[in-house]
Amino acid sequence: MTRPLLRLSGLTKAYPGVVANKDVSFEIHPGEVHALLGENGAGKSTLVKTIYGLVKPDSGTMTLEGNAFTPAEPRAARAAGVAMVFQHFSLFDAMNVAENIALGMENPPPQREIAAQVRQVSDQYGLPLDPDRVVGELSAGERQRVEIIRCLLQDPKLLIMDEPTSVLTPQEVAILFETLKQLSAEGTAILYISHKLEEIRTLCDNATVLRLGEVVGECDPKATSAREMAELMVGSKLHVPEKAEKPAGETVLALQNLSAPAPHQFGTALRDITIDISKGEVLGIGGVAGNGQDELVAALSGEMRVASDMVHFQGQPVGQMPPNARRKIGLLAAPEERMGHAAAPDMSLTENAIMTATTRENLTSKGFLHWAKARRFAEGVIKDFDVRTPGPANAARSLSGGNLQKFVIGREIMQAPDVLVVNQPTWGVDASAAAAIRQALLDLAAKGAAVICISQDLDELMGISDRFAALNEGRLSAPRPAQGLTVEEIGLMLGGAHDMEVAHVDA
């Protein structure tokens, strides 16, 4: 057996009131793909932050290639050959890809050289990315490529990946895995954090399972069933959203040849989208990020006006209606980006409730706000959707991503819409909160509303949708019943591995 690349022994880290890591020990060997499994709050993040130098352990030691490894800050960890791709990206929207990558470097070479390196690495590992594009215009999937390439340019010995597949299609996942396998064959160790068990079974050589901060088991994922790992990880059964059987209702929203030019340089034009959505139905729309999802939501919410008869709501043409007029008749939406789009970060939750609920909840009279009523509405959302916050006077930015997402979705559902459009409703949300949000969407549909759920999480879409359609370059595929669709069929609907190619493994 080779000498371990990284050895953790007895790592313990306590925060006031909670032990995040308790006596955690394991080893990672060069070229090994090591899975770190565990539910949200199991201590995975604290552990990898310790390795990456963001957290200092209370006790315990780490060795890297036999030498003591005590990174005081991420810079030291990077210098030692540890790189990390975070689940939430740390990129500057206003800068282009190459500039963002330069920012993470100690002594960045000239822009042109970085751009050349980005092209070379992206070609080598099959991660297409134009170094001159502005990050603000990139989709979530593309932003992740920036983070991965940024790490690969450091030529790391150990690459830590935190939930990398939450924004990818099956084909993109397959290609990412090719990239990771190629890296592993070149001797790079990978610490892979996920709670998607099937992924781990296909990719990883070893797995360490954490629960409540402790190592509760190690296993060879290829020889262990997903069920066994799940039991180790959760300790109990996860809540699976329940779908009620219901007959098809009458059409409530009809899109007829919905087309719109791209709203900005890097946007996607919508092309000839035609679909009818009935009462009580959940329509799942899949697709790789940047294929028109944001534009479709904008066309439905009223942020982007389209020709009047392209969108019919209960027989009435509404394509030209502004957002609040659409809310009035019952067409509501929740966009993907929580901070700054679906919610105003610096405003209180009460004010964020006013943002979209004014029309339907009658929060104004003659333009004057009913603060008490708005506060009660916000409190109702907080209570019914289990938003963890001291109260509605807190700023939206003080909430964690999952909690804010519950608030944003809850705010729309509480207004009893006839049609609700949600985009990535559970991205970056922990498993139990995600289950709660999905259940709330299903409950809404059970009451007779139509729900359009746009997501890149296919498990989510398969779990809640009655019909499934895919967006590809602004076109919507013909919808098909979600029941019985296979991963391969979905892949074909998504238009194959859009904009991706398999890594050149021969290198």
Partner 1 sequence: MITLEKRPQPSRIWSLATPLLAVLLTMICGGLLFAALGKNPFETIRTIFLDPLFSEFAWFYRPQLLIKGAPLVLIAIGLSFGFRAGIWNIGAEGQYIVGAICGAAVGLAFYPTESFIIFPLMIIAGILGGTLWAMIPGILKVKFGTNEILVSLMLVYVAEQLMASMALGALRNPDGMGFPGSRNLSQYPSAANLEIISGSGMHWGVVTALIAVIFAYIALSRHIFGFNVRLAGQSPRAAKFAGVNPTAMILICMGLSGGLAGAAGLFEVAGPAGQISIDFNVGYGFTAIIVAFLGRLHPVGILLAGGLMALTYIGGEIAQSNLGLPLAAIQLMQGMLLFFLLAVDVLTNYAVRFGRRQVV
Query: Which residues contribute to the site for partner 1 (CB under 8 A)?
Result: 54-56, 301-303, 322-324, 327, 333, 335, 337, 340-347, 351, 354-356, 358, 364, 367-369, 371, 394-395, 397-398
**Tokens (6 digits) for 437:** 């949000």
Q: Report how far residue 309's alpha carbon sits from residue 179's, in angstroms, rounded to the nearest whole number.
A: 46
Q: Which is nearer to partner 1, 325 or 505 (CB)?
A: 325
Q: Report how far residue 354's alpha carbon sits from residue 66's, in angstroms, rounded to the nearest whole number.
A: 58
Q: Which is nearer to partner 1, 304 or 433 (CB)?
A: 304
Q: Which is nearer to partner 1, 235 or 322 (CB)?
A: 322
Q: Which is nearer to partner 1, 209 or 354 (CB)?
A: 354
Going by C-beta distance under 8 Å and a sequence separation of 6 or more, which residues neighbour residue 237?
none
CB of 226 to partner 1, least distance (A): 34
For residue 379, which amino acid is it? E
Q: Which is nearer to partner 1, 12 or 224 (CB)?
A: 12
CB of 417 to partner 1, least distance (A): 15
Cβ burial, residue 483 (10 Å; 0-12/13-18/19+): exposed
C-beta of residue 264 within 8 angstroms of C-beta of residue 137: yes
CB of 336 to partner 1, least distance (A): 11
CB of 416 to partner 1, least distance (A): 19
Dihedral, CA of residue 402, residue 404, residue 407 and residue 410, to nearest 10 = -50
Q: Report how far residue 233's alpha carbon sits from residue 38's, in angstroms, rounded to the nearest whole number.
A: 5
CB of 408 to partner 1, least distance (A): 11
Among 299, 39, 262, which Cα is nearest to 163's?
39
**Tokens (6 digits) for 255:** 């899109």
Q: Which is nearer to partner 1, 55 or 200 (CB)?
A: 55
Output phi, psi for 467, to 5 deg. -125, 155
Q: Which is nearer to partner 1, 92 or 371 (CB)?
A: 371
CB of 145 to partner 1, least distance (A): 24
C-beta of residue 72 within 8 angstroms of C-beta of residue 80: no
C-beta of residue 209 within 8 angstroms of C-beta of residue 37: yes
CB of 283 to partner 1, least distance (A): 21
**Tokens (6 digits) for 273:** 């989208």
Q: Report how far residue 402's alpha carbon sits from residue 338's, in angstroms, rounded to the nearest whole number.
A: 10
CB of 230 to partner 1, least distance (A): 31
**438-453 exposure pattern, b = at least 16 Cβ within 10 A, e = fewer:** bbbbbebbeeebbbbb
Q: Which is nearer to partner 1, 251 or 394 (CB)?
A: 394
